[in-house]
């Protein structure tokens, strides 16, 4: 477990508060031990009977994905009736305050009904030379202390982002001959070629290390995993002597455990073990700062946003694998590690962030022990009525809201 950094006093670890009693409220009549029905008051309509099939699936299936309606009643599509306080206590926000404002912002949020704060600690924020060292540790620690002291429960986002998807470092590689987008071989200077680690070094394009150098041929010729993609702002022929930005990765992108021909793929497990080491260091750091396991974990952000590293096929052309590594494998391995009693994370809840932008994840397809499925729904910009309508006394007809206006984490069961 990493030692806390001075500046934020960690609290002693404590257990979760006991759950409220499920018994009847004070003054309520005790239930009949014999189970006899309650007598119907004189003149009252007797109980009509039992509904044989109370679930009407149309209240969910008639709405397109990402849509909602003020008239449909989705609660009629399942039997659970959660208490209203669960929704009240679920209100949260991405906590992205500047360091000097963190304490004040956290207090303001708590005073106005917020109960949770989402804090991202990405894999790429750990050092290449020491993957247990968090580069921006003091900033993250201050954020954790701020939300803890304000009574907000942290949701820790474990994520891999395109530009720095894992522990890595940046460098420039100098061209010995001109190059342009689409090239599959790049002539480097001898000095730059000496810095290349084949397979783990790549030229930056739309994301870090997008065109990996798979081998160095005699004469300092770098062979690429896919045609060269230039970074934003670079175009045309790049003359000799110019430098192109590159990234050296500590781990390769996620890939399946076997190749399509059945041959084992050792890089798959290497990356997964690196990910689990990141999970261990991050959860241990958060626990040491908070002094408790009163926090939750989200595995990945949206797959359609800065998510190339989850699939090795994004780094090669043509695809190396018929199918990439199923994200369910990453969720299962992460969940199993967190649920292992030896790791002392009792009370930490886990949500599947891979599910946040797709409709088909459900409790039936989720691993046992998963607490939630992330759902990130984005609304269109609201169009409010113009002033002239209000001055003229005309009130516009209300239209059904088409999309949910907040992120939510839905229980998979």
Domains of the chain: 92-164+258-381+403-410 (no CATH), 168-249 (2.40.30)
Mean pLDDT in residue range 260-279: 97
| pLDDT (average), residues 191-196 | 98
The 10s digit of each residue's pLDDT in 146-183 is 999 999 999 999 999 999 999 999 999 999 999 999 99
Please name which of 340, 308, 270, 276 lies closest in space to residue 132, comparing C-alpha atoms.
276
pLDDT at 387 over 90: no
d(CA 5, CA 3): 7
Per residue in 340-349, pLDDT (tens digit) is 999 999 999 9
Q: Looking at 96-110, 151-165, 307-321, 376-390, which range is the least confident one?
A: 376-390
What 8-state DSSP symbol labels residue 366?
S
Q: What is the pLDDT of residue 377?
A: 79
The interaxial angle of helices 137-149 and 102-111, nearest 10 deg, is: 30
Residue 303 has pLDDT above 50, yes or no: yes
Q: Is the pLDDT of residue 143 over 50?
A: yes
pLDDT in tens, 28-80: 444 444 444 445 555 555 656 676 776 677 766 777 766 666 666 655 556 66
| CB-based burial, 81-96: b 16+ in 10 Å, e otherwise | eeeeeeeeeeebbebe
pLDDT > 70 fraction of the chain, expressed in percent and rounded? 75
Q: What is the mean pLDDT of residues 280-298?
A: 98
Q: Are 10 and 145 in contact (CB under 8 A)?
A: no
Structure tokens at 372: 């939630």
Q: How far apart are the first and last CA of the chain?
A: 33
Kindly tell me if the per-residue pLDDT of 285 is higher than 90.
yes
Give the list of residues 6+ apart from residue 324 with CB closer than 8 angstroms, or none: 254, 255, 256, 310, 311, 312, 313
Instruction: Give the tens place of pLDDT for each residue, 70-96.
Output: 666 655 556 667 788 888 888 999 999
Task: Confirm if 263 and 270 have CB atoms less than 8 A apart.
Answer: no
């Amino acid at each position: 477990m990493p030692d806390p950094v001075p500046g934020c006093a960690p609290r002693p670890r404590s257990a979760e508060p006991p759950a409220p009693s499920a018994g009847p409220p004070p003054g309520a009549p005790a239930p009949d031990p014999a189970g006899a029905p309650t007598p119907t008051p004189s003149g009252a309509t007797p109980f009509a009977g039992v509904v044989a099939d109370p679930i009407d699936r149309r209240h969910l299936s008639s709405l397109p994905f990402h849509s909602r309606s003020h008239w449909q009643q989705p609660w009629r599509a399942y039997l659970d009736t959660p208490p209203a306080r669960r929704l009240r206590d679920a209100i949260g926000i991405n906590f992205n305050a500047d360091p000097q404002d963190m304490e004040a912002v956290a207090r303001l949020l708590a005073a106005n009904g917020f109960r949770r704060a989402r804090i991202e600690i990405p894999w790429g924020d750990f050092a290449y030379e020491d993957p247990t060292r968090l580069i921006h540790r003091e900033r993250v620690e201050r954020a954790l202390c701020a939300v803890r002291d304000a009574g907000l429960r942290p949701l820790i986002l474990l994520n891999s982002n395109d530009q720095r998807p894992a522990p890595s470092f940046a460098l420039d590689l100098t061209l010995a001959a001109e190059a342009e987008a689409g090239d599959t071989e790049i002539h480097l200077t001898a000095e730059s070629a000496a810095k290349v680690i084949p397979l783990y070094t790549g030229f930056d394009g739309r994301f870090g290390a997008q065109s990996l150098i798979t081998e160095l041929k005699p004469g300092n010729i770098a062979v690429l995993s896919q045609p060269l993609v230039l970074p934003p702002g670079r175009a045309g022929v790049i003359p000799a002597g110019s430098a192109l930005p590159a990234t050296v990765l500590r781990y390769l992108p996620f890939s399946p455990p076997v190749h399509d021909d059945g041959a084992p793929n050792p890089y798959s497990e290497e990356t997964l073990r690196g990910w689990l080491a990141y999970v261990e260091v991050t959860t241990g750091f958060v626990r040491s700062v908070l002094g408790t396991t009163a926090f939750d974990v989200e595995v990945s952000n949206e797959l359609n946003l800065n998510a190339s590293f989850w699939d090795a096929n994004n780094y090669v052309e043509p695809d190396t694998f018929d199918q990439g590594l199923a994200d369910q494998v990453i969720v299962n391995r992460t969940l199993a590690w967190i649920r292992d009693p030896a790791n002392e994370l009792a009370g930490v809840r886990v949500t599947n962030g891979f599910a946040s932008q797709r409709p088909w994840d459900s409790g039936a397809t989720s691993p046992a022990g998963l607490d939630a499925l992330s759902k990130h729904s984005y609304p269109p910009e609201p169009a409010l009525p113009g002033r002239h309508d209000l001055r003229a006394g005309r009130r516009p007809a209300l239209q059904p809201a088409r999309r949910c206006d907040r992120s939510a984490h839905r229980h998979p069961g």
